[in-house]
Amino acid sequence: MYEPEREVLKILKRAKIDVVPTLPCEKISALLRFVANDFCHVGLNREENGVGIAAGVYLAGGKPLMIMQSTGLGNSINAIMSLTVTYGLPLPILASWRGVYNEKIEAQVPLGKALPPVLDALGLKYTLIDDYSKIELVEEVIQDAFKNERPHIALISPNTWTRPEAIEESADSYKPRKVCLHYEKTVTKPELRRYDAIKIITDYLTEETVIANIGVPSKELYAAKDRALNFYMLGSLGQVSAIGLGVALKTKRETLVLDGDGSLQMSNILPLVAEAKPENLSIICLDNGTWGSTGDQPAPYADMELMAISAGIANTTRVQTEEGLRVALERLYEETGPRFLHVFVKPGNVPAVENISLSADQIKSRFRAACI
């Protein structure tokens, strides 16, 4: 039963794939159940988060593969181009190709039919698999992605999979929950600029990997303390904590993420962090209440510590002063992760912070070598 699905599992195991982020499609429901049982599996809430997680897994020495519906490619194109392509990262993707073969959902058709020429226009490598006889092409997709350090997408028609008369029902995934919360917070005017906070954080770095947010925060970390174990983001807003989660899943090193309030709201990554429970991951949210790298436009307000708590992260700390930040960093590893450190900082960027003088390939190569 489910012979094509089992053949794909064999291919993934031969290729030594070890982390598989997925988003569901009913056409591949059997495959997804098998993958969840046999691999380190991350169930996603956004396709872009899978791109970031896969990047982090590879940077830490692992072999990721993504599985999702073809419509998810549309959602994740910018992350694939600005992160995977820019840094030259391998990313094999198995995409359930909707909108073409006996499609009954009208909304699937426009993107499904346009997808091959769209991928051609972007210069993204893809392979069409339209029936079971071509399932072995999955192996070539994986090999090419890692050999050439690029995304390679397998567009797999629903015609490929077996369709038994009765599909076994999924196990009951409902988890009993008990929520009891009393939460009070007084926020005073921040004392620190983001750059000041980053400089303080670098005082406490030893062998940790650090993933820095896009734009000015990466430049500020570079100016404060450049090191091979720093990964500087040049694009892909919202992906920094996803990358950090991927790194933490594949290394025993402590992993620090320098994120922001706006990008954390954009990614909605915190529930995935809580679900994965990486004991070596600390997310430091430098909350200035604005989109700091693009001119300090006000960001939507959200209580970021409360978001972390509601996502299921138990170890959270709030910081508003230099003394508080230093105390929090000194005590950071007293509790296992995941940890969430909410640091209030002033809006504004330090004038004339130098640009990062490393190419994307240099950032990737030295980080991966130091991390492994």
pLDDT digits (tens, 9 = 90+) for 68-99: 999 999 999 999 999 999 999 999 999 999 99
Hey, what are 173's tokens? Answer: 């995934």
User: Does the pLDDT of residue 310 top 80, yes or no?
Assistant: yes
pLDDT digits (tens, 9 = 90+) for 190-202: 899 999 999 999 9
pLDDT tens, position by position, 119-160: 999 999 999 999 989 999 999 999 999 999 999 999 999 999
C-alpha atoms less than 13 angstroms from C-alpha of 270 in its C-beta half-sphere: 27
The first and second tokens of residue 131, run together, are: 């029936």
Task: Please give the pLDDT value at position 223.
Answer: 95
Mean pLDDT for the stretch of residues 219-245: 96
Residue 309 has pLDDT above 70, yes or no: yes
Buried b (16+ CB within 10 A) or exposed e, 186-200: eeeebbbbbbbbbbb
Helix, strand and coil percent figures for the chain, each rounded to 5: 45, 20, 35
pLDDT tens by residue, 354-369 = 899 999 999 999 999 9
Work out the average pLDDT over 221-248.
96
Q: What is the DSSP letter of 139?
A: H
Q: State residue 357's pLDDT score.
A: 96
Q: Are 129 and 160 in contact (CB under 8 A)?
A: yes
Q: How far is CA 269 from CA 60, 82, 185, 262, in A?
A: 19, 19, 23, 12
pLDDT at 166: 41
- Largest Cα–Cα distance in the chain? 66
- Give the pLDDT of residue 228: 98
> In the chain, what are the domains?
3-160 (3.40.50.970), 194-371 (3.40.50.970)
Q: How far apart are CA 370 and CA 372, in angstroms?
A: 6
DSSP conformational letter for 189: P
Contacts by residues 132-137 (CB-CB < 8 Å, ≥ 24 positions apart): 132/3, 132/4, 132/160, 132/161, 132/162, 134/160, 135/4, 135/7, 135/8, 135/11, 135/160, 136/7, 136/11
**Which letter, b or e, does each residue of 144-166 get, where b requires 16 or more Cβ atoms within 10 Å of its Cβ?**
bbbeebbbbbbbbbbebbeeeee
CA 202 to chain centre: 24
> Residue 286: helix, strand or coil by DSSP?
strand
CA distance 132 to 127: 14
Strand order in the sheet with 19-22: 40-43, 19-22, 66-69, 91-96, 151-156, 125-129
Cβ within 8 Å of residue 190, ≥6 positions away = 288, 320, 344, 345, 346
Sign of CA dihedral 173, 302, 299, 357: negative
pLDDT, residue 163, reads 61
- Confidence grade of residue 264 (pLDDT, cut at 50, 70, 90): very high
The amino acid that residue 218 corresponds to is S
In the predicted structure, residue 5 carries a pLDDT above the cut 60: yes
What token pair was written down for 186?
């007084």
Average pLDDT of the chain is 92
* Residue 81 backbone dihedrals phi, psi, to 5 degrees: -75, -45
Alpha helices in 80-136 (DSSP H): 86-87, 109-122
* Contacts of residue 133, Cβ cutoff 8 Å, sequence gap at least 6: none
Helix segments in 15-108, DSSP class H? 29-38, 47-59, 71-79, 86-87
Give 20-64 pLDDT, tens digit per residue.
Answer: 999 999 999 999 999 999 999 999 999 999 999 999 999 999 999
Indicate whether 319 pLDDT > 60.
yes
Quick: pLDDT tens for 150-189. 999 999 999 998 664 444 555 566 777 777 788 888 888 8
Residue 307: predicted pLDDT? 95
Residues whose CB is less than 8 angstroms from the CB of residue 351 and which lie 6 or more positions away in sequence, other chains included: none
